[in-house]
Amino acid sequence: QLQASGGGLVEAGGTLRLSCAASGTIVKVGRMGWFRQAPGNQRELVAMISPEGSETYAEFAKGRFTVSRDDDKKMLYLVMNSLKPEDTAVYYCLANVITSTYIPSYTAYWGQGTQVTVSS
């Protein structure tokens, strides 16, 4: 289970930090990431991070957003700086998780989403 938090209303140019907590039976966590979906748009990738810490960003996120993870705490983070009105969306976290040692394959889990609204 994933629980996202940290969204809210911020003025353009502001900063938000999103968090995503993983819980339940977890044997191993693979790639994790953030996606977003604005009204009328498809869900799109924001950033991904591998277990080794390799980061991937959408073009719009480069230089403004930073993804990180804390595997000991089973947490995923996204720091968003210099926010723009076009960043307004529901942000979802994703984690690829192995939940059983008998079935060592990854299953993708989504968080419930947290609303980010950037005012101009």
Share of the chain above pLDDT 90, in %: 88
What's the pLDDT tens digit per position in 100-114? 888 888 999 999 999
pLDDT at 75: 96
Query: Sign of torsion, CA 58 70 90 14?
Result: negative
Reading the block at residue 46, the tokens are: 């924001």
Using the CB atoms, write b or e for 11-22: b if 16+ within 10 Å.
eeeeebebbbeb
What would the pLDDT profile of 79-89 be if each residue is shown by its tens digit?
Answer: 999 999 999 99
